[in-house]
Amino acid sequence: MAQSTRRWYEWPDHWRSFRNVPLKRLWILYLAVFFLFCVVGFFSDLMSMGQIPYATAIMIAVATGVDAMLWLFMMNKLPWPTVFILVALQFAMGPILGSVARWMGATFALRTPAQTSGIHFAAFATLAVAILSYTSFVIFLQATGRDMLKIRNELELAHGIQKTLVPPVVLNTELYEVYGISEPSDKVGGDLVDAVLLPNGDVVAYLADIAGHGLPAGILMGMLKTAARTALLDAAAGHPSATLPLLLEKLNRVLPDVKEPQMYATLTAFRLNADGSAWYATAASPPVLHWSGPGRDARLVEEKQFPLGLLPVSGFTGEAIEVQPGDLLVVATDGVLEVADRKGEEFGIERVEKAIAGDARAPLQQLAGTILERARTFGKQADDQTLLLIRRL
């Protein structure tokens, strides 16, 4: 998850809906709020039975409208401590408006209108500003609706690209079967699962998790997949033990130049050789669940290494892993493991193990579906949920 950069004196993000919208696009909204609160000024004239001079009633209406605009401007553009200034202004507004009204009456010799005429004026003015406010809101909503439709179309396009970049992975060889699936929490996710069949029959399967989710994470995910596949072009030529460390080294060098400073990626990768041997490497990712088919027991396999793209480190390593016929290797991202129930308890790797134990011989797609279903029943999805399952045949 991406960390918030909100400073202590700023309003919470959900209170600042238009904080990044330029003022030139918000003027119609401010105008709508202005006319809406002008009603307060003319309502006070109605409560006075139309005895306020016309010019004074208009002055009060304008003042209440401007006051409402100031509140809206502060909530979206100014630090929250300025609320004290506006609160103080509310207490001072009555005396200020009273002084201005007396000055206007004395300077311009304003007369109190007849009661009937004053009430008619206040009523028609109230109706007029209400219509103007409604019209302004409609214009603003139409413009906003067009923008939202454009954004929705772009997100749908991005979602289509997501499906292209991260489709369900199904790959079978004589000795291994691989299945991977990723379910983003938004239209676009930052998780990646992929498998590459090398020319010599070996397979490299990996799962990556970009810090955060949404469009920025999705863009970086696409870059990571491209970089990973490029790095694996010559993987068949080298020694199997060097493939994964070299992959992590290259990704860690490439990512810093194409991402924001706070973003990084975790990754778990396997090299599954045609002779049955296997290697693995991890970079700050959750442990691998190694389920032993014959013994029907499980153990956690992990390797402590730095995440990718965060620090200019080197020396990534990989380890051999013995995978017997019938064994399962399962990797789940934080979006699965950190699903929390109402009490705050997390789903955890133990429940993934229990889901597998129920029917370890089931097809990998069915096992993945069982894990995801149990996670979603356990708690609400808050992050991208991705699984990589490998079985030795």
The sheet with strand 265-272 has its strands ordered as 191-197, 203-210, 265-272, 278-283, 319-320
- Give 253's contacts (C-beta < 8 A, 6+ positions apart): none
- Give 120's contacts (C-beta < 8 A, 6+ positions apart): 50
Q: Are 288 and 331 in contact (CB under 8 A)?
A: yes
Q: Are 247 and 259 in contact (CB under 8 A)?
A: no
Query: For the chain, what is the radius of gyration of the CA atoms?
Result: 32
Beta strands in 184-277 (DSSP E): 191-197, 203-210, 265-272
- 13: tokens are 């993000």
Render each residue's pLDDT in the chain as its tens digit; 393 residues: 444 455 655 656 555 556 666 777 788 999 999 999 999 999 999 999 989 999 999 999 999 999 999 988 887 777 878 888 889 988 998 899 999 999 998 898 888 899 899 999 999 999 999 999 999 999 988 988 887 777 677 666 666 666 667 789 999 999 999 999 998 877 667 889 999 999 999 999 999 999 876 777 888 888 999 999 999 998 888 899 999 999 999 999 999 998 888 899 999 999 999 999 999 999 999 999 999 876 678 899 998 899 999 999 999 999 999 999 999 999 999 999 999 999 999 999 999 999 998 888 899 999 999 999 999 999 998 888 999 999 999
Which residues, in sequence order, are bridge partners of residue 299? Answer: 290
Whole-angstrom CA distances from 164 to 106, 150, 168 are 75, 21, 10
Distance separating the N- and C-terminal Cα atoms of the chain: 36
Domain boundaries, the chain: 13-158, 168-392
How many whole angstroms separate alpha carbon 171 and alpha carbon 156? 28
The pLDDT assigned to 354 comes to 92
Q: What is the pTM of this model?
A: 0.69
Chain centre to alpha carbon of residue 254: 24
Level-2 CATH architecture, domain 168-392? 4-Layer Sandwich (3.60)
The DSSP code sequence of 330-345 is EEE-HHHHT-B-TT--
For β-strands 288-292 and 328-332, DSSP reports them as antiparallel
The pLDDT assigned to 358 comes to 82
Residue with tokens 């909100």: 6
Which residues, in sequence order, are bridge partners of residue 170? Answer: 179
Instruction: Report the residue count for the chain.
Output: 393
